[in-house]
Structure 1
Amino acid sequence: MSRRARWLAGACASTVAVGLLVTGGALATPPQEDSDRSARTEVAVGAYLHYGSPGVERMRELSRWLGGTELRAGHTYLPGDTWSNIEGAPDSLRSWARWRKAKADRLFVLNVPMLEHNEAGVPDGRVAELIGSGAEGEYDHHFRRLAERLVALGVPDTVIVLGWEMNGFNYTHRCRPDPENWQRYWRRIVAAMRSVEGQRFRFDFAPNRGGDAIAWTRCYPGDDVVDIIGMDSYDQPPGSTFREQVTQPYGLQHQVDFAKAHHKLISYPEWGLFRNGDNPDYMRRMLVWIAEHKPLYHSITDYCPHGVWQCTKNPRSARVFRELLSAK
């Protein structure tokens, strides 16, 4: 995606839905109820609701809207404007840490930019210079500081979505200007954060769905520094139908196959509606896909135009989301 409205933004399916598996466009026979119950316990459901402390409160409200469904994945972002914020300066991390520690089975998912001025329209030439500096270790201390803060807050097992959507055109931490040094830089960041005593971080490599600016496989930094193969997948072209989103080059099926070949878990840190509008068919099929492939977690982006709870522009999709994820 392009510049987000995050700063303005104030799987589990039912038994029948899990049976609607997308296999060559055909619908499979619904599995037994036990299969649905297993999906409910294995996949951590989440939503991006607000970057700061209000996001924690809204998790409770969304859970009530879903009839008490447990939201086990708490998802937020560090601002990419300054190095001090990338080091974990926002005080809202304390609220998220308290939420995470309240229940043992919760996941705290934190998107971490790799460079400051991350949405400032930095040209490719300068991006390549910055990535090269990172690959040489110039920014290691910023990420050690972040790791120390997370450990001190009691969330040493945070899932770090590092340099998300690196295959795109927009973020300063994008991969295309220098894929080789980008990989080296990722490896340095992971090494710096893993050097902090007490850490148990998991690192999530999460490109955009599809080819975008560069094939995301060209950015992959190596199995020893990646724990999860994620994908941000919104309902937008390329992929006018869900089937196309699955089968397109570097699409959802490619992600699943790549993760299996590399013995990694999968995730969906960002997903939701977008340029194809209020699309209940997409919503149903994405939730079925999640139920079938059982990612570690998934997190819908819940503000307009992507969302279904905080956004009133997608009532048909909201009904599907609520129906399939409701505990009642």
Structure 2
Amino acid sequence: MRLGRLTLAAAALLLMTTASVPSGTPLSQTERHAALSSDAVRPRGTAPRPAVQRAPHEVPFGAFVGSWNDYIPNIARMASWLNNANMQVGHTYLAGNGWQDVEGEPVVLGLWSQWRQADPARRLVLGVPMLVPNEANVPDTEVAGLLARGNKGEFDQHFLRLARKLVALGGGDTVLTLGWEMNGTTYTSRCRPDPSAWKTYWRRIVGVMRSVPGQHFTFDFTPTRGLDAIPWTRCYPGDDVVDILGMDSYDMPAGATFDDYVREPYGLQDQVEFAARRGKPVSYPEWGLFHNGDNPEYVRRMVEWMRTHDTAYQTVTDYCPHGFWQCKDNPKSAEVYRQLMSGSTGAAG
């Protein structure tokens, strides 16, 4: 969601300068009808609702504390702030300035994989761009052209090299948020210019990466919450190439309540029901504050939501304006987050 997050190590401390179209963006009647009549998410009341509630439980959690290996020690520092909580999830991203970035810097991948291997209960979550340059305001026509080239196999070798490096460095079980926030407008790795081609391209990348011996990758389909530039269901590439139904969920737009985030089309409720119908867990790779200032009620409700659904993992975005430990602008929210997560022993297994 953050422009420039990956171009420099210090980007993890910058404010968000651009974002996808926020939830609640007005649509024409035609667009709204098309969105709500999607065969992937049925309007509520037209079909039996799957069971999605779980008994309260601990969820593997962590935070995005910076992209490069220099930030790995921040996980332990934040855990100490949380009264030595067991932060089991490390979350980082590959830069998307060029294909060499997507192939992965061996030192960075190696050190993150080393952090993961230090405890079998840990997991590494890696954001992987599908196209480059990933944050350069590439027009829709060019995105469509890049997707077509990708579907001809032009970019296969880059994902093959990434997969081989991860396996060789001990990161063969990494969770990959491939083309995250594809339903928005921020990234070149987006779906709206050609949803059919995008889905085919996702499937191709997954096939290439799964072809590497020794891999046990988990592929996390991670849109932004709500109806953004395109309903995320139109981008869903298929149950056989998706392991987790993720969602990036910030408290936006301004003035909205947590119940709005649950009920909105393509919001939290639709996510968990969509996943339950497919027998898949959900995740929240990015969540935090954004458009409503210091918002402790959002923090409380979000943690409760994650703990009462089939959540594979959650990682808060921990820098201003979103987070709680590195950002001093949200003292009330930080206090609530600390109370809720302090001393957590993590999830069993």
Letter in 2 for 1:170: T
Total equivalences in the alignment: 300
**Structure 1 counterpart of 2:218, which letter?**
R
Residue equivalent to 2:264: 248
**Does residue 73 of the first structure (1) align with residue 73 of the second (2)?**
no
- CA distance in structure 2 between the aligned counterparts of 1:312 and 1:55, rounded to whole angstroms: 18
C-alpha separation in 2, matches of 1:204 and 1:166: 12
**Secondary structure of 1:94 counterpart:** helix
2:306 and 2:255 map into 1 onto residues whose CA distance is: 17
For the 8 Å contact 2:106–2:165, the answer to whether it is kept is no
1:134 to 150, 163, 170: 150
Match of 1:266 in 2: 282
User: Residue type matched to 2:12 in 1?
Assistant: A
Q: Which sections of structure 1, spanning at least 5 residues, go unmatched?
A: 11-34
Aligned match of 2:328: 312
> Which residue does the alignment assign to 1:110?
126
Match 2:67 to one of 39, 48, 51? 51
Instruction: Give 1:4 shift.
Output: 4.9
Name segments (4+ residues, structure 1) moved above 6 Å.
none
Unmatched runs of 5 consecutive residues or more in structure 2: 14-54, 345-349
What letter is aligned with 1:3?
A: L
From 8, 12, 29, the counterpart of 1:9: 12
Structure 1 position 163, deviation (Å): 0.2
The residue that corresponds to 2:192 in the other structure is: 176
Within the candidate set 298, 303, 314, 1:282 is matched to 298
What SS class does the counterpart of residue 296 from structure 1 fall into? strand
Corresponding residue of 2:225: 209
Cα-to-partner distance string for 1:302-323 (whole Å, 9 max, x where unaligned): 0000010000000000000000
TM-score (structure 2 length as normaliser): 0.84
Q: Match of 2:317, as an amino acid?
A: T
Q: CA deviation at 1:238?
A: 7.4
Could you tell me how far apart the structure 2 residues matched to 1:2 and 1:62 are? 21
Q: Is the contact made by 2:289 and 2:321 (CA closer than 8 Å) also made in structure 1?
A: yes
Q: What CA deviation, in whole Å up to 9, does each residue of 1:93-128 have, x standing for no partner?
A: 221111000011110100000011100000000000
Q: Contact (CA 8 Å) 2:63, 2:90: kept in 1 or not?
A: yes
- Residue 16 of structure 2: aligned partner: none
Match of 2:342 in 1: 326
Check 1:304–1:172 CA distance in 2 against 1; reply closer, same or farther (3 A cut): same
Please tell me the residue identity of whatever aligns with 2:172: P
- Matched residue SS, 1:91: helix
Q: Percent identity at matched positions?
A: 55
1:198-239 C-alpha deviation (Å, 9 max, x unpaired):
100010000000110000000000000000000000011177
Q: Is 1:136–1:185's contact at 8 Å kept on the other side of the alignment?
A: no
Which residue of structure 1 aligns with residue 250 of structure 2?
Answer: 234
The CA distance in 2 between the partners of 1:239 and 1:199, in whole Å, is 44
CA distance in 1, matches of 2:342, 2:192: 41
Select between 131-140 and 165-174 the one with higher mean Cα deviation: 131-140
Q: Which residue of 2 aligns with 1:159?
A: 175
Aligned partners of 1:273 and 1:130: how far apart in 2? 33
1:232-281 residue CA offsets vs partner (Å, 9 max, x unmatched): 00011177100000000000000000000111111000000001111001
TM-score in terms of structure 1 length: 0.89
Q: Please state how far the C-alpha of 1:91 moved relative to its aligned partner.
A: 2.2
Query: Does the alignment pair 1:62 with 2:78?
Result: yes
Please say if residues 239 and 245 of structure 1, whose CA atoms lie closer than 8 Å, have aligned partners that are also in contact: no
Contact kept? 2:88, 2:121, Cα under 8 Å: yes
> Deviation at 1:294?
3.7
Between the aligned partners of 2:236 and 2:120, the Cα distance in structure 1 is 31
Give the structure 2 partner of residue 18 of structure 1: none
Shift of 1:54: 2.6
Aligned counterpart for 1:85 among listed residues 92, 98, 101: 101
Distance in 2 between the 1:66 and 1:285 partners?
19
User: What is the CA distance between 1:138 and its match in structure 2?
Assistant: 1.2
Per-residue deviation, 1:5: 3.9
Deviations 1:39-79 (A, max 9, x none): 22xx2111000101132100000000000110001100000
2:84 is paired with a residue whose SS is coil
User: Secondary structure, in 3 states, of the residue corresponding to 1:311?
Assistant: coil
Mapped to 2, the partners of 1:2 and 1:146 lie a distance apart of 23
Rounded to whole Å, the distance in 2 between the matches of 1:4 and 1:80 is 10
Alignment partners' CA distance in 2, 1:238 and 1:220? 28
Determine the structure 1 residue equivalent to 2:207: 191
